[in-house]
């Protein structure tokens, strides 16, 4: 059965030190199946699989992510990567309950990992949202999730209007004028500024206008040669004739098996502070 309609989203200020993003739950379309591991379909290892459209209220839009609960502990990394490759989505999230649960009954502590079709990543927004939605839909009494990840503890809270609020880290990036020419060559438009910090996966390139973002012509080979694994391209404002936005962006990560992501939650960790 279809979930209840998502209420309209209202604007709210962002905290300065912790990035809080109000998100509409997509998941109007969700598919589930049982995935059996092993040589025989009679084998004992059966895992629930869900695919959720995140960041949208319209089926077949937003960013789809796969969600799988690891009921007997995480499978070997090689198998997790093979599953993610076969899913062929930007990310597959694998989660398991932590053995010792602390806090209120409405809180749940989860170990969470994300895999693209080619690599494990340290942070992913839309697959976290998809995972949180899946868990909270199946367990209505749970209103707060503590995800233990490679990026630390990420908190997702169910709000009174049934939206989910994700609390993610705010990335501190440094100006990198030495990357401007290489980024310009890779995307076909020269940015005004580039920000990146050693150790961060993604760089952020700022452009003069939203039109520049629409006119990007990314060269995946050149993007793969940049030092950061992913590139966020952004500009303040809205395209001519479009809805009013604070900024627009596109995200490319061919080295992670993602040519262009439909929408990227983790990019907000860099975009909002800058």
pLDDT digits (tens, 9 = 90+) for 61-106: 999 999 999 998 999 999 999 999 999 999 999 999 998 666 667 8
SS3 185: helix
The predicted pLDDT at position 15 comes to 27
Check residues 51 and 239 and name the one with the higher pLDDT.
Answer: 51
Q: Of 26-30, 58-62, 249-253, 259-263, where does the model show the most confidence?
A: 249-253
The predicted pLDDT at position 129 comes to 96
- Whether the per-residue pLDDT at 205 is higher than 90: the answer is yes
Task: Report the 10 Å Cβ neighbour count for 111.
Answer: 16
The b/e string for 93-104 (b: 16+ C-beta within 10 A; e otherwise) is bbbbeeeeeeee
Q: Are 266 and 228 in contact (CB under 8 A)?
A: no
Catalytic site positions: 91
CA distance 43 to 57: 37
Q: How far is CA 91 from the centre of its chain?
A: 8
Greatest C-alpha distance within the chain: 59
- Whether the per-residue pLDDT at 16 is higher than 80: the answer is no
Best CA proximity match to 118, nearest among 148, 69, 62, 78: 78
| Alpha-carbon separation of residue 23 from 4, 90, 134, 256 (angstroms) | 16, 19, 15, 25
Average pLDDT over residues 206-220: 97
What are 204's two structure tokens? Answer: 């952020």
- Whether the per-residue pLDDT at 266 is higher than 90: the answer is yes
- Whether the per-residue pLDDT at 250 is higher than 90: the answer is yes
Across the strands, what pairs with 64?
A: 53
Check residues 2 and 231 and name the one with the higher pLDDT.
Answer: 231
CA distance 192 to 262: 24
Helix (H) or strand (E) holding 36: strand 30-36
Average pLDDT over residues 141-151: 96
SS3 239: coil
- Whether the per-residue pLDDT at 239 is higher than 60: the answer is yes
- Whether the per-residue pLDDT at 47 is higher than 60: the answer is yes
Q: Are 49 and 59 in contact (CB under 8 A)?
A: no
What's the predicted TM-score (pTM) here? 0.80
CA distance 131 to 137: 10
The predicted pLDDT at position 48 comes to 87
pLDDT, mean over the chain: 85
- Whether the per-residue pLDDT at 256 is higher than 60: the answer is yes
Average pLDDT over residues 250-273: 94
């Amino acid at each position: 059965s279809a979930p209840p309609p998502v209420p309209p989203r209202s604007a709210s200020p962002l905290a300065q030190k912790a990035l809080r993003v109000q998100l509409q739950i997509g998941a109007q379309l969700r598919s589930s199946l049982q995935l059996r591991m092993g040589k025989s379909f009679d084998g004992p290892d059966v895992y629930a699989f869900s695919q959720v459209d995140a960041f949208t209220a319209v089926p077949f839009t937003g960013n789809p992510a796969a969600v799988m609960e690891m009921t007997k502990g995480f499978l070997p990394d090689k198998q997790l990567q093979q599953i993610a490759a076969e899913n062929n989505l930007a990310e597959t999230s694998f989660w398991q309950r932590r053995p010792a649960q602390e806090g209120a009954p409405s809180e749940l502590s989860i170990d969470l990992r994300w895999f693209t079709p080619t690599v494990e990543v340290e942070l992913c927004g839309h697959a976290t949202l998809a995972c949180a939605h899946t868990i909270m839909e199946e367990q209505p009494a749970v209103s707060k999730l503590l995800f233990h990840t490679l990026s630390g503890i990420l908190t997702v809270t169910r709000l009174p209007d049934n939206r989910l609020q994700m609390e993610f880290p705010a990335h501190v990036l440094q100006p990198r004028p030495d990357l401007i020419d290489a980024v310009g060559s890779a995307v076909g438009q020269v940015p005004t500024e580039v920000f990146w910090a050693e150790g961060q996966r993604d760089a952020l390139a700022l452009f003069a206008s939203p039109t520049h973002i629409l006119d990007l012509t990314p060269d995946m080979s050149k993007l793969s040669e940049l030092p950061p694994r992913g590139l966020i391209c952004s500009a303040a404002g809205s395209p001519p004739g479009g809805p009013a936005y604070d900024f627009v962006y596109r995200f490319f990560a061919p080295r992670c098996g993602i040519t262009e992501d439909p929408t990227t939650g983790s990019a907000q960790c860099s975009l909002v502070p800058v």
